[in-house]
Homo-oligomer: A and B are copies of this chain.
Amino acid sequence: MTDATRYPLPDLNTLPDDLKAKILEVQEKAGFVPNVFLALARRPAEWRAFFAYHDALMTPETAGRSSGLTKGEREMIVTATSAANHCLYCVVAHGAILRIYEKKPLVADQVAVNHRKADIPPRQRAMLDFAMKVCLASHEIDDADFEALAAHGFNDEDAWDIAAITAFFGLSNRMASFSGMMPNPEFYLMGRVPKQK
C-alpha cells in the first residue's frame, strides 16, 4: 500500500480561488469534500483539466450536449471500469452515485463484482460489455463491437460516450491507486438505505 503520507491532501485555504470555489460548492451540495478534489488539487493545472474533462463527459448538458446515456448509465460504466482496474476510491465513490441515480441500492455491488450477473436490462449489459473491451483490450475493438451496441439502440455517439467515460476513468483509477487515494467514509453507505418519509 502506498504510504498515506506520500501525497498529503493540501489545505483548502492554500488553493487557488477557482479550485477553492468549486470545492466549497461541492461540499455544500454533498455535505463533505470528496477526497479526489483535494488529492488532485496539489497540481491546479491538472485539477482544472481533470474536472473539465469529467464534466464534459459526465454532465454533457453543461457543455451544451445531450447524451443517449442516462446519468445512471454513465456511473454504471465508471463503476464497472473502476472494478476492472481494482480502484478502491472510484468503485466506492461512483458506486454510491450509481445507487442514487439508478435508485437501485444493490446495483453497484453487482456491477463491481460481475456485471454479467447484475440485475440490469440487456441494453446495459451490452453497454458494459463494450466498456470492458475498451478498458481491457481497446486495440481489439472492431466493427462487430459497434454492431453489438447498435442492436440495443446505441449509435456511434453513444459508443463514443461509453468509450470516453471508460478511458477517462482508467486515467482516474490509475491516479487514485498509484497515489493511495482513499474514499471518504461517507460514500460507503450512500444510496443504500431508502429514505424514510
Interface residues of A (CB under 8 A from B): 1-3, 6-7, 43-46, 48-50, 52-53, 55-57, 60, 63-65, 82-83, 85-88, 91-92, 105-106, 109-110, 112-114, 116-119, 125, 134-135, 138-143, 146, 156, 159-160, 163-164, 166-168, 170-175, 177-180, 182, 185, 188-189, 192-193
Residue in B closest to A3 when the chains form the complex, CB atoms: B143
Interface of chain A, main secondary structure: helix
Q: Name the one of B63, B86, B185 contacting A114, with C-beta atoms under 8 angstroms.
A: B86
| Residues of chain B with a CB closer than 8 A to A138's CB | 85-87, 173-174, 177-178
What is the total number of copies of this protein in its complex?
Answer: 6
B182 adjacent to A117 (CB under 8 Å): yes
A134 adjacent to B56 (CB under 8 Å): no
A7 adjacent to B192 (CB under 8 Å): no
Q: How far is the CA of A56 from the CA of B83 in the complex (A)?
A: 28
| Residues of chain B with a CB closer than 8 A to A168's CB | 171
Residue in B closest to A133 when the chains form the complex, CB atoms: B178
| Residues of chain B with a CB closer than 8 A to A189's CB | 105, 192-193
Q: How far is the CA of A174 from the CA of B142 in the complex (A)?
A: 13
Q: How far is the CB of A104 from chain B (nearest CB, A)?
A: 11
| Residues of chain B with a CB closer than 8 A to A64's CB | 45
Q: How far is the CA of A135 from the CA of B170 in the complex (A)?
A: 10
Complex A-B, nearest 5 residue pairs according to Cβ-Cβ distance, in ascending order = A86-B139, A49-B53, A45-B63, A167-B174, A45-B56
Q: How far is the CB of A85 from chain B (nearest CB, A)?
A: 7
A163 adjacent to B139 (CB under 8 Å): no
Q: How far is the CA of A191 from the CA of B80 in the complex (A)?
A: 24
